[in-house]
Amino acid sequence: MEEFCTGLCSILAETGADPGLALFLSLLVGVLLVSGVPLITVILLIWIERKVAARIQDRIGPNRVGPVGLLQTIADMIKLLSKEDITPTAADRVLYNAAPLVSFASVVLLWAVIPFTPFHYGVDLEIGALYFVAIASFGTLAIMAAGWASNNKYALLGAFRVVALLVSYEVPLVFALLAPVLLAGSMSLVDIVNAQNGMWFVVLSPLAFVIFYISSQAETGRAPFDLIEAESELVAGFNIEYSGMKFGMFFAAEFLHVFTNGIIMAILFFGGWMGPLYYESPLIAFAWLGAKGGLIYFTTLWLRNTVPRLRIDQIMAFNWKFLVPLSIANLIVVSFVLKVMQELQLAPRDILSAGFGDLLPTTIILLLFNGAMILYLLGILRKRGREARRESQETRPEFAQTATVAGH
C-alpha cells in the first residue's frame, strides 16, 4: 500500500491521518480533478467555438454578457437548467433520460487516460489507445438510444445516419491510431508521449495523422460530416425531441469531444507535453499539451465553418473506397519499414530511450515512403477528378457550361 502513497497522500499521512483514509482522499481529489477539468473546460469551449465561428463568418459573436461575452455560456446554462423538462408521452422514458448522460460520460471517461504532464494523469492503462476506441463506442450507442427512445421519425433517421457514419469512420480511425502504437511499441498513452522524445510521430507518419484527423472530424459529426443533424433534411437530427439541460448534455458532449480529440491528437502525434523546458515544471508541460491541443482544436473549428456538408453516399464512398484502403496500406508500409529498419540496426529497438540522432535514419526513410504514397495518391485523385469532370460535361453539358460561367 505504501508505494502508492505519494504526493498529497504522504502529506496527509504525515499529519497523522489513517493511511487508508489518506490514500482514499488523495485518490478522490485526483478523480475530481480529472473529471472536473473537462467539465469546466467545456463552458469556455462553447464561448471559444462561437467566437471563432463568428469571426470566420464576419460577425462579432457573443459580446453582451460579461467581458467580451465570456459569461454568455453561464447565462445559457442557467436558461437551459430552468427550462421545462419535457419527455414525450410516447417516448421510452428510461432510455430517453439515460441517453444524454451516457453521451456525456463517453467523452468525460476519455479524460481518465489522458496524461496531462509526465506525473499527472488519471491512470496509465496498458491498453490506453484501445480504451480510447472502446469508450468512443458508447457515444454511438447513446445517440442510437436517443434517436429510438424519442419515438420520432426524424430522430430515428438521424440516429441511423450516426451509426452509419461513426461505425464506418471508426475503421480508418483505428488503423491510423495503430501507427503511433506501432512506432512507440506500446498502447499506453504515457509511453506513446515518452516515445516522442526523439521525434514527433507526425513527422514519422504524417499520413496516419491526416487519416486520424479526418476520421475524428467525422466521429464528432462536424462539417463536412454533419449530415447527422442536417437541419434542412432532418429538422435537428437525433436530438430533436430533447429540450432543456438534456439537450445541453448532448451539446456539451459534442463540444467537449472535439476538444478531447484535439488533445488526443496532440498526445498521439505531436508529443503531448513535450516542448522546451517541459521538465522544469509540470505547469509548463501542461501548458504545452494545452497549446498543441488548442491549436489542433482551432483548425477543426476552422474546417467546420469553411466547408459545406457532403451527401451520405459521398461520405460512405470516400470512407470505404479511399480512407480505409489508404489506412490499411499506410499501416502495412509503416510496420514493414519499421521492422526492416530494426533488423538492419538503423532504428532503435527501444524507442523510449532513443534521442533525435538515433531516430534520424528512421525519420528520413519513413518520410520518403510517406511522400511517395502521397504523390501516388495525388495522381489517383487527379485522375478521378478529371474523369468526373469529363463525365459531367458529357451527361450534363448545360450544367458544365453554367459551372464554367460561375467559375469565371
Partner 1 sequence: MELNAISIGFVVFAIFTLGGALGVVTTRNLFQGTIWLMVSLFGVAGYFVLLSAPFLAAVQILVYIGAIAILITFAVMLTRSIARIKERYIRTLPSFIVSLALFLILLLGVAIPIFGAHSPESIPDYVASTRDLGAALVDENGYVVPFLLASVLLTAAMIGAIFIARDENA
Sites of contact with partner 1 (CB under 8 A): 92, 95, 125-127, 130-131, 133-135, 137-138, 140-141, 144-145, 148-149, 156, 160, 163, 167, 170, 187
Half-sphere exposure of 387 (CA within 13 A, CB side): 6
Place of cell 469529363: 390
Cis ω before 325 (30° cut-off from 0): no
Nearer to partner 1 by Cβ, of 160 and 322: the residue is: 160
* DSSP, residue by residue, 54-73: HHHTT---S-SSSGGGTTHH
Q: State how far the Cα of 174 lies from the Cα of 261, in Å rounded to an integer.
A: 13
Distance of CA 317 to the CA centre of its chain: 22
- Sign of the Cα torsion 75, 78, 81, 82 reads negative
- 57-74 CB burial, b ≥16 within 10 A, e <16: eeeebbeeeeeebebbbe
Q: Least CB distance from residue 311 to partner 1, whole Å? A: 20
Q: Least CB distance from residue 291 to partner 1, whole Å? A: 30
Q: Least CB distance from residue 164 to partner 1, whole Å? A: 8
Backbone φ, ψ for residue 121 (5° rounding): -155, 155
Place of cell 506513446: 192
Nearer to partner 1 by Cβ, of 49 and 191: the residue is: 191
Residues 6 or more apart from 52 whose CB is under 8 A from it? Answer: 298, 301, 302, 305
Nearer to partner 1 by Cβ, of 84 and 343: the residue is: 343
Nearer to partner 1 by Cβ, of 32 and 134: the residue is: 134
Q: Least CB distance from residue 130 to partner 1, whole Å? A: 4
Nearer to partner 1 by Cβ, of 95 and 287: the residue is: 95
Q: Least CB distance from residue 101 to partner 1, whole Å? A: 14
Nearer to partner 1 by Cβ, of 188 and 327: the residue is: 188
Q: Least CB distance from residue 277 to partner 1, whole Å? A: 33
